[in-house]
Structure 1
Amino acid sequence: SPPLEKEELQKPWSLASQIINIFMDKFLKNATLSADIVIEPAIGKHPNDNFKGLDSLIFLGEKAGREQLPKIREILTAKKDSIIANLRNAIAREFGLSSNFKVIPYSDSSISLSKQSFVLKDTSSGLDFKEFIGKLDFKGIKQIRIFDTGYDATNNEAPKVVLEIDTFPRIKNIVYHCEIENVKYQIDTIIQNTIGKFDSPETRKSLIEEIKKLCAKSGFSFAKVVVSPSENSENLHLEITPNKIGKIKIDEKITTSEYIIRRELTFRQGEYTNGDKIAQSWSNIISTGLFSDVFIDFDVDTIASLCNIKIFAQERGTQVLNFLMRIDNERNIQGGVDFIHENLFNTGTRFLVSAAGGKSDFVAKIGLNQTRIWKTNFSLSAEAGYIWKVIPIFVRSKTSKLNRYESSVEKEIITEKLGAYISAGTQIERLGNFYLGFRSEKQRFYDQNESSKPNFYNFYTLKIGLIYDSRNRLEFPSDGRLINIFLETPLFKTTSSIAFTRAFFQHSINLPIKDLVIRPTITFGFADAGLPFPEFFSLGGEDNFPGFHEYEFLGRQIFTTKFEFQYRLPWKLYFDTFITLNYNIGSIWSQFDAIRISELKHSFGFSFGLLTPIGPVSFSLGRAFFFIKNPNAV
């Protein structure tokens, strides 16, 4: 890339890139001196450290290369002609021939020549040497030898200078033995395509590689293919032996229980070696969260057809202390602390104690989570905690703008929750969890200005649901989807408890188009009349319908649709920088009711975000509005 301007060298990585460019420029100048053609795509001023739009750069490079193809062919033809001319002149000097000697097929039996032979002779008939070379099939040629027979050159009947071509035999038949039944049909096809070709080292190499690729594609990596006899032959025999897993060793430096690592392996000793299973095992080990890096080393024993495996890993710290802070105009300043032990008693169990809150909310909880019970895909988690929260109750205020919402806080309700939740489930592709949970909780809610507090009421519910999250990251995701579905229903009811049923569905998918991500999200939830106030669905807030205050609308039924357009800027403000536009449509109802389009609320939002090492930072604006059917009637 061209040198950067002075004002572009303020950042250390830009300076480093400039230094590399200087050294590369000297190398390129020396390299182009001996080049026949220099292809320079019209990419403009594109820095070496800018990896944006690589597909466009590849297209420009391909376009520039295609434009030079005629000239490349011309140069290659000239070089080929030059090589043939030099070879012809060298042969003429060596054997006393003129530079215009001809090549004549020799088939006279007066002299016994076992290989395909040609006479090199000064005569007017026969093939020109260049024409002769152009007709040769070099794939089947084993050796070319030119020699003087010792005969008198004046004897027209006997050849003096002979060119002898030793060719590989053509393959007539291939038989094979293979232990892998489900690839035999494809092997038959490969063999049929090979029969009739020359039995050359290139042919054998291609045959072996094709069969190995076929075996690997079918789940049998590192298969052993032996071709016999070792000499060139018209009849070949193939021995195809699938590779098997040999010894599996864990690096002794890893302090994490070997059992935790081995249970994540999808292959076992003695099984056929499968590259996909090895890759999945690597992903499983990484997904435990206990390691920052994992390396699986292979030692392939070709004689015994075994693949010995050794696993190395870089462990993370298992004890983590997080300090949390959030600042926004809804909840002001919030802080918190988490203590996490990722591998309690070296069993793979995650232990969490956390407390967080601010002026208007407080959360404290303790939890245990076991993502895998023994070697099964079943998971188990338990959590207990206390939540105190102030929820504002909004009322509509008068406004001069007919199609705008303006609200003010009428009063504030305090909600308190104290309870426990236990769930068991099964993993889905390590990205999701189908679960069944039991929830036991005490709750109460009251006006902040009330002098006396009501008694707690109880409820006991059974919750069944599915969470599937394949997003590449939680903040500013660019790929994957999120599915959250659950049904919560009473398990039993006592004289001091309440009962309710509710259902919830949410689906969000990220559709990437280069640096642009389109993210449609649909949310729908409903509950019966027994749903208590602290469990109400809410509408409003930066992440949940911008343009409304957080908790501005509460109810027992919700429906929203959001369309987000997230764009990662081509430049960084020290960190990855994003702008996001979103359009929202939906509403909330106090009771289960029909959804009418005329009742839906609308809003649009804009946010500017940075993905920093300590967490996301975003600045957001939103505006809510509604449509008026007949503005002139207002």
Structure 2
Amino acid sequence: MMRKDRPTEMRALLTIVGFLLACVAHAQPTVALVLTGGGARGISQIGVLKELEKAGIVPDIIVGSSFGAIVGGLYAAGYTPTQIDSIFHTIDWDDVTSFSSDTQRESLFYSQKQENDRSLVTFRFRNLDFVPPTAIGGSARFSELLQEVLWQSPYNSVTNFDSLVCTFRAVATDLGTGQPVSLKSGNLATAMRASATFPLRYAPVRWNTDTVLVDGGLVANIPIDAAIALKPDIIILVNTTSDYATISSLTTPWAVADQALTAAMKQRDSEHVKLADFVLEPDLGSTGTFDFNDIDILIRAGEMEGARMAAQIKARLKPTSGAMEAGAAQYFIKSVVVHSTFGADTMALVKERITDMIGRDWSPQFKRYHQPRFNESLHRSGHALAFVRSMGYDGPSQTLTIDVDLGIPTLLTFDRLEELRRSDIEREVSFKNGKEVKQADLERTWQNMHASDVLQNADVMVSRNADSGVRITMRAEDRGNQTIRIGARIDNERYTQGSVDIIHENLFSTGIRVAVRGILSQRIGQISASLELPRIGGTLWTASLRGYSSFRDVWIYQDEAGRPATEPMPQRIDEYSEDRYGFRLSAGRQLERNGVLLGEFRYEQQRYRDLTADADPSFQPLATLRAVARWDDRDQTDFASRGRTIDLTAESSILSLSNSLSFTKFTAAASAVVDLGSVVLTPGASIGAADRTLPSPELFSLGGQDMFFGWREDQQRGRQIVVGNVDARIKLPLRIFFDSYVSLRYDIGAIWENPENIRIGDMNHGLGLTVGIDTPVGPARFSVGRSFFFLDDPAAIGWGPVLLYFAIGARL
């Protein structure tokens, strides 16, 4: 038996020896490409990569610092320079660099949306110790951008940076020691973010329990030392670091911070530049660190510099580094065999890749080029984590054998820092162990963790097992279990308003949430306390008990006597207050993260009090049962570009607990945001109906900047209501300090005292123009509106007065 197999063994040995001799014969110098920081200026590095590849110069090593780590990391993950170009063109850089809240509203539960929408400032505490913020803005949008792009990359499950398309190092600054750190393993997206985490703008990255990292540019803006440590033969430096900005351009805090950092970085830059064999410096003029407006110009500048230097670099490479030239090709590929458990070789895109491989020559560089392309075909075929586990060539049969792993998660691990339970992370997971995972599942899990009230610095890392499948590690730390949220608003109806929410999360590790809320202004006030179970047993079932006391002042309007029917002039004639105190007990189920179905019992004492009367009426008891269905998946409340809202309620009083008061009340409201490109349309409608026995504190109201232009808030009140509107909004090309908008809204509606009064001819109309500014203190909206209506006898159009409105801050 041994003699029978000896020829086969000999052929295999000769194949290996021949391959090794081919490699030696075509030994080439190892090339390291060093990519510096420079913010937006670093985009020009894409152009340099394009031209180097075009000339057959492919780096064996990439070392990147700050923005260079982003460009270099994407390249090492298997993206081509052309693909990186396309990725950068699809990014909304204004959004990534914005200082506004970076929590994705769609990833929040319905109750979280309400809290977030009304919060201006949030203070966090851990066991009553204040947890200070580590940055002006959050890092979630930046992190999510990098993570999503890398989950789509050919090497989305590689955590050893030596096993990427080329060896890669991301250089960051260790805040504990002040020294540069060359990251060589871990979550690639997190490593890239750590290297590019601009201090104060983005929160530092907690790499492990002992290491906190920020921008590598602080101590190694030109990370040539990290490249030298890898012992390359040739070092190519692409220097895109910033020059000093002019004094006149230092008009923002981040511009001043960037100038200060530039001054610190420049001290050693000149020394590091001298250590490179080739230095490429694209002509970027006065482009600033945060100037992402001219991506094409920046890439073109890099292409010009790359083309200028390519011939000089190529002359040093004998043979050309990394080039797939005919001389290096030794073995013809006659057939390709794919081993997989899911029929990978039957997929159309994989078949195309196999066809492309057949007829080519196996060479030392074949795997480098074709393996990421093969992985990409698997991902585009719907298998997000599938990958080539091995690729080998058999000389005697001229066969290329590819072993494909589907990337099934065989192990979920939870890396918890500080006082976290496994269940705090586990309940946010959107996939199951042992089942194939889609990219959407990973993204949803990541978003869920970042939207959690108890987690921060969340991370999701996919890594390959030694034998088969992948391991998915969820990592997070405690956000702090106490929160104080402050809200503020000023408008022309309710004047100055303030609110505070004091919240204790996860009381005694039971999942119970305790909250106290207060609102105070001249015309509205509320104090409430609640016990909540947001997710009973980690499920989507929820329950809450809330006790409250509140008042709300309501102006009473009447048209001025003696005026023409076509020119009404409403006047305030009285003011009432809706006073109530009681409790609400609710339970139900959350609909994914954007909606809720609830059943609610309400018991309260209420009264409708004339503020000008000498004596106050007594409180009357009221008990009701209510069914609620709500949905809100808008990306934001005031300047939404997508999403819809639905609000349905049905409520009936309990006769025995309501002093013999019996009524039934229904409401339905819906709106949708339609993005037409340059214009965003938001049509909406709402209706409400109730018995004639509906008490005054429960009446519907019509009017105001948000509801009906040309009328004041609460100008009309009744028991039946119909309202429809269409809003058309455009974003102004010029910012009024912040993102600015102009919108035109048409309203149609009416309100009636009792059902028998309903007439279609009673419909009123409103038109209004609004200038909106998305400020850090909330939306600022300034409007002018006017109502009109049609008269039958005689036929005429009546016009209400022109009214001005303003509101600054979120609705409380």
The TM-score normalised by the length of structure 2 is 0.56
In the TM superposition, what whole-angstrom CA distance separates every residue of 1:296-338 from its partner, at most 9, and x where no partner exists?
234433x322433443324323212345544433233434432
Evaluate the alpha carbon distance shift between residue 617 and residue 396 of structure 1 in structure 2; reply closer, same or farther with a 3 A threshold: same
Alignment of 1:426-441 (within 5 A): 426-441=589-604
1:545 aligns with 2:730: no
Evaluate the alpha carbon distance shift between residue 202 and residue 568 of structure 1 in structure 2; reply closer, same or farther with a 3 A threshold: same
1:242 is displaced (CA, Å) by: 2.6
1:587 aligns with 2:772: no
1:572 is displaced (CA, Å) by: 6.4
Q: 1:238 aligns with which of 402, 422, 428?
A: 402
Q: Quick one: distance in 2 between partners of 1:388 and 1:281?
A: 41
1:397 is displaced (CA, Å) by: 2.0
State the partner residue of 2:254.
13
Q: 1:141 aligns with which of 305, 315, 326?
A: 326
1:267 aligns with 2:431: yes
1:258 is displaced (CA, Å) by: 1.7
State the partner residue of 2:441.
277
Residues 583 and 603 of structure 2 are in contact (CA less than 8 Å); yes or no, is this contact kept in structure 1? yes
1:348 aligns with 2:511: yes
1:499 is displaced (CA, Å) by: 1.9
State the partner residue of 2:808.
none
State the partner residue of 1:253.
417
Tell me which amino acid in the other structure corresponds to 2:646: N
Residues 540 and 548 of structure 1 are in contact (CA less than 8 Å); yes or no, is this contact kept in structure 2? yes
User: Which shows bigger deviation, 249-258 or 586-595?
Assistant: 586-595
Q: Quick one: distance in 1 between partners of 2:559 and 2:710?
A: 14
Which entry has the higher C-alpha Rg, 1 or 2?
1
Residues 709 and 766 of structure 2 are in contact (CA less than 8 Å); yes or no, is this contact kept in structure 1? no
Evaluate the alpha carbon distance shift between residue 622 and residue 170 of structure 1 in structure 2; reply closer, same or farther with a 3 A threshold: same
1:221 is displaced (CA, Å) by: 1.0
Residues 140 and 167 of structure 1 are in contact (CA less than 8 Å); yes or no, is this contact kept in structure 2? no
1:293 aligns with 2:453: no
1:504 is displaced (CA, Å) by: 1.4
Root mean square deviation, CA, Å:
4.4
Q: Quick one: distance in 2 between partners of 1:266 and 1:200?
A: 42
Residues 404 and 624 of structure 1 are in contact (CA less than 8 Å); yes or no, is this contact kept in structure 2? no
Structure 1 SS opposite 2:332: coil
In the TM superposition, what whole-angstrom CA distance separates every residue of 1:119-148 from its partner, at most 9, and x where no partner exists?
xxxxxxxxxxxxxxxxxxx968344xxxxx
Structure 2 SS opposite 1:502: strand
In the TM superposition, what whole-angstrom CA distance separates every residue of 1:139-165 from its partner, at most 9, and x where no partner exists?
68344xxxxxxxxxxxxxxxxxxxxxx
1:611 aligns with 2:775: yes
1:198 aligns with 2:383: no
Q: Quick one: distance in 2 between partners of 1:432 and 1:182?
A: 39
Alignment of 1:37-48 (within 5 A): 47-48=288-289
Q: Quick one: distance in 1 between partners of 2:501 and 2:642?
A: 28
Evaluate the alpha carbon distance shift between residue 62 and residue 348 of structure 1 in structure 2; reply closer, same or farther with a 3 A threshold: same
1:523 aligns with 2:764: no
In the TM superposition, what whole-angstrom CA distance separates every residue of 1:398-451 from its partner, at most 9, and x where no partner exists?
697986653212222232333433333433342333444444444332433162
Evaluate the alpha carbon distance shift between residue 292 and residue 553 of structure 1 in structure 2; reply closer, same or farther with a 3 A threshold: farther
Identity between Structure 1 and Structure 2 (%): 18
1:482 is displaced (CA, Å) by: 3.5
Residues 222 and 273 of structure 1 are in contact (CA less than 8 Å); yes or no, is this contact kept in structure 2? no
1:522 is displaced (CA, Å) by: 0.9
1:550 is displaced (CA, Å) by: 1.8
Residues 458 and 498 of structure 1 are in contact (CA less than 8 Å); yes or no, is this contact kept in structure 2? no
Residues 703 and 712 of structure 2 are in contact (CA less than 8 Å); yes or no, is this contact kept in structure 1? yes
State the partner residue of 1:625.
787
Evaluate the alpha carbon distance shift between residue 202 and residue 380 of structure 1 in structure 2; reply closer, same or farther with a 3 A threshold: farther
Tell me the number of residue pairs that the alignment of Structure 1 and Structure 2 aligns.
533
1:202 is displaced (CA, Å) by: 4.5
Q: Quick one: distance in 1 between partners of 2:471 and 2:623?
A: 56
Q: 1:507 aligns with which of 656, 665, 671?
A: 671
Q: Quick one: distance in 2 between partners of 1:282 and 1:436?
A: 31
Q: Quick one: distance in 1 between partners of 2:730 and 2:759?
A: 29
State the partner residue of 2:474.
311
Relative contact order, CA 8 A, sep 6+: which one is greater? 2
Q: Quick one: distance in 2 between partners of 1:320 and 1:519?
A: 36
Q: 1:334 aligns with which of 483, 497, 512?
A: 497
Structure 2 SS opposite 1:626: strand
Residues 648 and 669 of structure 2 are in contact (CA less than 8 Å); yes or no, is this contact kept in structure 1? yes
Q: Quick one: distance in 2 between partners of 1:38 and 1:388?
A: 65
Q: 1:557 aligns with which of 705, 721, 725?
A: 721
Residues 730 and 742 of structure 2 are in contact (CA less than 8 Å); yes or no, is this contact kept in structure 1? yes
Evaluate the alpha carbon distance shift between residue 469 and residue 595 of structure 1 in structure 2; reply closer, same or farther with a 3 A threshold: farther
Tell me which amino acid in the other structure corresponds to 1:447: D
Q: Quick one: distance in 2 between partners of 1:566 and 1:401?
A: 37
User: Which shows bigger deviation, 206-215 or 460-469?
Assistant: 206-215
Alignment of 1:368-387 (within 5 A): 368-387=531-550
State the partner residue of 1:409.
572
Evaluate the alpha carbon distance shift between residue 231 and residue 442 of structure 1 in structure 2; reply closer, same or farther with a 3 A threshold: farther
Evaluate the alpha carbon distance shift between residue 321 and residue 375 of structure 1 in structure 2; reply closer, same or farther with a 3 A threshold: closer
Q: Quick one: distance in 1 between partners of 2:672 and 2:480?
A: 33
Tell me which amino acid in the other structure corresponds to 1:611: T
Q: 2:332 aligns with which of 169, 173, 177?
A: 169
Q: Quick one: distance in 2 between partners of 1:245 and 1:170?
A: 33
1:597 is displaced (CA, Å) by: 7.5
Evaluate the alpha carbon distance shift between residue 336 and residue 64 of structure 1 in structure 2; reply closer, same or farther with a 3 A threshold: closer
Whichever structure has more strand as a proportion of its residues is 1
Residues 408 and 470 of structure 2 are in contact (CA less than 8 Å); yes or no, is this contact kept in structure 1? yes
5+ unaligned residues in a row in structure 2: which ranges? 1-40, 42-242, 800-812
1:466 aligns with 2:630: yes
Q: Quick one: distance in 2 between partners of 1:63 and 1:480?
A: 34
Structure 2 SS opposite 1:374: helix
Q: Quick one: distance in 2 between partners of 1:488 and 1:563?
A: 28
State the partner residue of 2:527.
364
Q: Quick one: distance in 2 between partners of 1:532 and 1:426?
A: 30
